[in-house]
Amino acid sequence: MAEQRMGFFTDTTVCIGCKACEVACKEWNDVPDDGFVFRATSYDNTGSLGASTWRHVAFVEQDGRWLMMSDVCKHCTHAACLDVCPTGALFRTEFDTVVVQPDVCNGCGYCVPACPYGVIDRREDDGRAWKCTLCYDRLRGGMEPACAKACPTKSIQFGPLDELRERAQERVERLHAEGMTDARLYGESPDNGVGGTGAFFLLMDEPETYGLPPDPVVTTRDLPAMWRWAGGAALALAAGVAVCFAGRKP
């Protein structure tokens, strides 16, 4: 467990939309076909992350520029999918990544609506939940994840999270100095609603433009309050039942 926290820094300014990451991920992880849908929006017929899509390249056509971003599981510090998994199938690895154990998952599907990024999903033919493992097997073998390895422009960078955060900060400052004031980091802050993400991004527009939530929060943050409200309702129910019997002779 002495490993460092590993993660991704995806710099969208150098993404060329080649989708090599999508292909490499599919090949290495033997991820099945996710359907062939002509979406008629942009050069994106993949659509979104899902049970059989662990990297997704978003294409946003704007006046005078074209934004491309390779999206992936965020491997949150406070991961809702992991918190709510009732079987322990989801676990945190020695690399501080979040992985599903397919031999334990019973397909309850609770992780699916829990994720504030809409990443994890259930394969309906297989019945279990699937998502990016940050190539857990490759990491254990001392290799980098397939997507980062295949990325021809180093848009996807893999490494110890501390180093990536420093590198990303320098990159943003350089872009700002060059006049690209739209550049901003997304997810890197440990103060955000998920305690910082293991996979973070350099974006050129608001997160929602890329289909990302602007201010996500781990739903279990509010769980103590939820149990208190439910406890109040349970007590009220017990009292209500007692009152219904009060003063009535059998």
Partner 1 sequence: MPKGQGEVVPEAPFRSYYGQPVVKQPIWHEPHMPTYLYLGGMSGAASAMAAVARLTGHERLELAARTAAFAGGTAGAAFLVAELGRPMRFLNMLRVFKPSSPMSVGSWTLAAQGGLTSVAMGSAVTGVLPVVGDAATLASGLSGVAMATYTAVLLADTAVPAWHEAMRELPFLFAGSALASAGAAVMLTTPRALAGPARAAAVAGAVTEVVAGEVMERRLGMLGEPYRKGRAGTLMRASRALTLGGGLLATVAGRSRTLTALSGLAITAGALCTRFGVLEAGRVSARDPKYTVVPQRDRLDAGAPAHVPGR
Interacting positions 96-115 with partner 1 (CB under 8 A): 104-110, 112-115
- 11 beta partners: 202
Using CB under 8 A, which of 22, 121, 144, 188 touches partner 1? 121
Contact between 211 and partner 1 per CB under 8 A: yes
142 in the Ramachandran plot: left (φ > 0), alpha (ψ -120 to 50) or beta?
Answer: left
Q: CB of residue 95 vs partner 1: minimum separation in angstroms?
A: 20
What residues contact residue 80 under an 8 Å CB cut-off, 6+ apart?
A: 111, 114, 115, 116, 194, 218, 219, 220
Q: Which residues from 224-243 bind partner 1, rule CB under 8 A? A: 225-227, 229-238, 240-243
The interface region with partner 1, picked from 3-11, 24-32, 85-93, 149-157 by CB under 8 A, is: 85-93
Contact between 1 and partner 1 per CB under 8 A: no
Helices (H), ranges, the chain: 20-29, 80-84, 111-114, 136-140, 146-150, 161-177, 223-245
Amino acid at 216: P
Q: Which residues from 144-173 bind partner 1, rule CB under 8 A? A: none
Contact between 60 and partner 1 per CB under 8 A: yes
Using CB under 8 A, which of 17, 18, 42, 182 touches partner 1? 42
Return the number of the residue (180 or 236) whose C-beta is nearest partner 1. 236
Return the number of the residue (138 or 165) whose C-beta is nearest partner 1. 165
- State the Cα–Cα distance between residues 163 and 179, nearest whole angstrom: 25
